[in-house]
Amino acid sequence: EVQLVESGGGLVQPGGSLRLSCAASGFTFNTYDMHWVRQAPGKGLEWVSAIGTAADTYYLGSVKGRFTISRENAKNSMYLQMNSLRAGDTAVYYCARVSTGYYFYMDVWGKGTTVTVSS
Amino acid sequence: SSELTQDPAVSVALGQTVKITCQGDSLRNYYASWYQQKPGQAPILVIYGKNNRPSGIPDRFSGSRSGNTASLTITGAQAEDEADYYCNSRDTNGNPVVFGGGTKLTVL
């Protein structure tokens, strides 16, 4: 079964750090681009970051310099290191797999992990 | 960066047809994909590309594009279709990916 499972969320004070993980199974992880998408409470989906198969990385402007995306293909895992966290980073964070074909779409999503930034 | 604009809320009578739209400059170059999200659940892909449905998505869901507007049509809406719907696409202006703000679909 193709599956993504996020972990690492929690409650953190403003200025603190968290490392999110996304464990993949059921597919050849190293052949897919992977993304993080977040959803603040009561709000819509917001793209956060992406990492390509060549480990090329991309970031939402508001997280650039604070968040670092990485992948470890040997462990079928992707990570999001989040530093200098702000209240505005409070959200459910989803990892998502992106199709390898001509069209762009996120065909597999994890259930999400919740990050709460509060004092 | 570019934006994708969706109507915040749409309603449809049970069994009728509803069209949910997504407007943005990126859609002139890229097809939208559409996601359904029910409360407390992760999004699921319902339409991608020109008009493609993943396995398991009912054929009452369809997609189309005209100019800078993508549309998701549900023909014969069912009670279980009540959900939030989001479009997204690649973008070449700023962030590489953009999402619409979402449309809350109510089935009456």
Q: Does residue B103 sit at the A interface (CB-CB below 8 Å)?
A: no
Q: How far is Cα B73 from Cα B66, in angstroms, rounded to an integer?
A: 13
User: Using the beta-carbon criterion (under 8 Å), do A61 and B94 form an inter-chain contact?
Assistant: yes
The encoded tokens of residue B82 equal: 């009540």
User: Would you state the pLDDT for residue A61?
Assistant: 93
Query: Regarding beta strands A3-7 and A77-82, do their DSSP bridges make them parallel or antiparallel, or are they unpaired?
Result: unpaired
Answer whether A61 touches B (CB < 8 Å): yes
pLDDT recorded at residue A20: 98
Look at the block and give the residue holding tokens 């480990």: A55
| A21: contact with B, CB 8 A cutoff | no
How large is the average pLDDT for residues A64-72?
98
Q: What residue in B sits closest to A95 (Cα-Cα)?
A: B42
C-beta atoms of B45 and A107 within 8 A? yes
Q: What do you get for the CA distance between the two ends of chain A, in Å?
A: 39
pLDDT at B94: 76
Per-residue pLDDT, B11: 97
Please report, in tens digits, the pLDDT of each residue of chain B (108 residues total).
Answer: 569 999 999 999 999 999 999 999 999 999 999 999 999 999 999 999 999 999 999 999 999 999 999 999 999 999 999 999 999 999 877 788 999 999 999 999
Task: Assess B90–A contact: CB distance below 8 Å, yes or no.
Answer: yes
Q: What is the mean pLDDT of residues A21-45?
A: 97
Which pLDDT belongs to residue B1?
57
| pLDDT of the residue at B2 | 65
Rounded to the nearest angstrom, the minimum Cα separation between A41 and chain B is 11
